Structure formats: C-alpha cells, structure tokens
Amino acid sequence: MPNHLPIAAVLVLPGLVGAVFLALFLAERVRPLRQPTRPLWQRLKVNAGVTAIAIIFNFAVVQTAAYFTIQASAAQSFGLVRWLPVPPPVAGAIAFLLLDLTFYYWHRANHGIPLLWRFHNAHHIDPDLDVSTGFRFHFGEMVFSAGLRAAQVGLIGASLGAYLLYELVYQANTLFHHSNLRLPLALERRINWLLVTPRMHGIHHSQVREETNSNYGIIFPWWDRLHQTLRLNVPQSEITIGVPAYTDPADNQLIQVLKLPFQPQRDYWLQQQQFPTARDPAVLSPDRTQMASLKQAVG
C-alpha cells in the first residue's frame, strides 16, 4: 500500500466503519431479527479469519488499484463526470450514484457468472446472518473486485473525495443490511425507500434460489425497483439462511471456506437429501410495493 495514500483511507475511514460494526453488533444482541441456528462464537471465529485475510487483500489490491486509477483519471481529465459541465458537488453526487449502480450490476454478476459465484458463495454459506457476515468475503472475490474498482472509478471519473465518501457509506450500509437488527416494521418500510435494510437483505440470503437471486442493492434499493429484482414479501420467520448444499457444520470451518472456490462444486440449490429448497406460497405476505403499483395502475 503506498505510503502517501490519504490518511482518511488509512485511519479515519476504518475507524468509522469499526464504530458502526460495534454499534450494530451490540444492537443486534438486544433486538435480534432472526433466531440464530449456530453458536455465535463458533461463527465469529470463522468470520474473523475470513475477514482478516479479506481486509489485507482489500487494502493491498482493491484500494490501491482504485487510488492509482483515480490519480491517473484526474491527471488525464478522463471519466464521465469530468466531462460533464456541472459544478463539483453535482459531479460528486452523480459519481456516487453511478458507483452504487455499477455495484448493483457487479453483485448480479457475482450471482450469475459461475466463476464469480464460486468465490461469492463463501459469503452466502454462512448459516446465520449478522453484522459479521458483512465482512465475510473470500480473498479471491477481493482480487476480482480490484478490476471492477479500477474500471468503475476510471470510467466514471470519480474524484478521490467522492470515492472515499462512497466507500464509507458503502461499508457502513453493508454492515447495516447484513445485521440481525430488528427495527420496527413501519420504520424499516420507510427507511427501505432510501436504503437497503436488514429485512430486505435477509431475503437475499435465503436458501430459496429465487429469493437469493433478488435484492442485489448495496446502498440504494432503487436499482432493484428499476430492474424488477426487488422482493419484500417473505416473512423473516420463514427464511432459512445459507445455501442448501453447504449446510453441514464442516462446510463452515475456516480452512474449508477458504478452499471452497477451488474444489468441485456441489449442486448449490439441492439439499443433502437431493431435493431443492422451495417456498410455500401460502406464507408469503402481500408485497406493499407491488400492491401500491397495482392501485396506481387501476386507480
């Protein structure tokens, strides 16, 4: 990592993200959204090991690639927002939105491209979902992400300030929507018009394939609404977290998680009894977003 990397990226940003992690970790102990299925400390040991390696690769590869690309983009006045005749604050806001939109597409690619899913699956096989899952990404996924970050900031032309602000909000909301924090339902519905929330992302970690392949948003839920990948009608009490083919406790040991992408893959969506996980339609609650759209259409 370069010695002249801005102090915000080295000290301030990790400190703020760490504070968010601690606050959510304590809050979800007091107001849990879903009941755990595995002992917490056993999971934390695994997640801490995966996270430690991922953080090293994140700073050494991802952030370094992003920083040097931003410097090159600025020197050459290259990138979409640098070509727009708008004031710097407007350019920064556009860059922020485009960074989040491209992360939406990247997340979909991680689910749709088999090579990328091998690595992203290490995140999804966590048998419970809480704030520690928000840091649990395979180091191989970090390596692939470096190429994405360089392409993002280069083509968008994001300034260093816009990128660091996005990185802070990105990390904080990733922790928030992975957390097991039970918010009042009415409050979460309001927040969900602006931010991806725990209930929304909990559906994304369901063992039902169609539910996992929904709710890809990182910060803003608008991209899921726009691309019709939003799903809000699954009660949290009906969700089983994880990937059906990788539910054995042995699958979630640290070494096994790190080895997972390099081994022959199972049929992800078949349970050990060799039948797929499915959702009983009777348990689905009305999707208020769809109902509102229907009322507008017929009204």
Number of Cβ atoms within 10 Å of the Cβ of 223: 23
Which pLDDT band holds residue 78 (cuts at 50, 70, 90)?
Answer: very high
Count of other CB atoms within 10 angstroms of residue 255: 9
- Which letter does DSSP use for residue 67 in this model? H
Residue 284 DSSP symbol: P
Q: How many angstroms separate the CA atoms of 215 and 201, rounded?
A: 6
Domain assignment present for 124: yes
CA dihedral 200, 128, 252, 106 (to 10 degrees): 10
Token pair belonging to 99: 């960074």
Enclosing H/E stretch for 51: helix 40-57
The answer to whether residue 228 is domain-embedded is yes
106 part of a folded domain: yes
Q: How far, in Å, CA of 28 to CA of 14, rounded?
A: 21
Cα–Cα distances in angstroms (integers) from residue 79 to residues 66, 76, 99, 186, 234, in the given order:
14, 9, 13, 41, 40
Residue 1 within a domain: no
Question: How far is it, in rounded angstroms, from Cα 251 to Cα 239?
Answer: 20
| C-alpha to C-alpha distance for 158 and 69, rounded to whole angstroms | 10
**pLDDT, tens digit, 9 for 90 and up, residues 102-126:** 999 999 999 999 999 999 999 999 9
In a domain, 71, yes or no: yes
Two tokens at 178?
């992975």
pLDDT the model gives residue 271 = 79
Are 168 and 13 in contact, with CB atoms under 8 Å apart? yes
Q: Which long-range contacts (CB under 8 A, 24 or more apart) does 185-193 make?
A: 189/288, 192/221, 192/232, 193/221
- The model's pLDDT over 43-73, given as tens digits with 9 standing for 90+, comes to 999 999 999 999 999 989 998 999 999 999 9
Residue 283 located in a structural domain = yes
Domain with 103, as residue range(s), is: 7-298
Q: Is residue 201 part of a domain?
A: yes
What pLDDT, on a 0 to 100 scale, did the predictor assign at position 290?
Answer: 45
Q: Residue 276: pLDDT above 80?
A: no
Q: What is the 3-state secondary structure (H, E, C) of 123-169?
A: HHCCCCCCHHHHHCCCHHHHHHHHHHHHHHHHHHCCCHHHHHHHHHH
pLDDT of 287: 63
Residue 69: how many CB atoms within 10 A of its CB? Answer: 22
Burial of 108 (0-12, 13-18, 19+ CB in 10 A): middle
**Among 111, 108, 131, 127, which Cα is nearest to 119's?**
111
Domain-embedded: residue 86? yes
Label residue 162 left, alpha or beta by phi (over 0 means left) and psi (-120 to 50 means alpha). alpha
Q: For position 9, what pLDDT does the model report?
A: 61
In percent, the amount of the chain with pLDDT more than 70 equals 89
Instruction: Give the global pTM.
Output: 0.90
The secondary element (H helix, E strand) that includes residue 25 is helix 13-30
Rounded-to-integer distance, Cα 61 and Cα 107, Å: 19
Domain count, the chain: 1
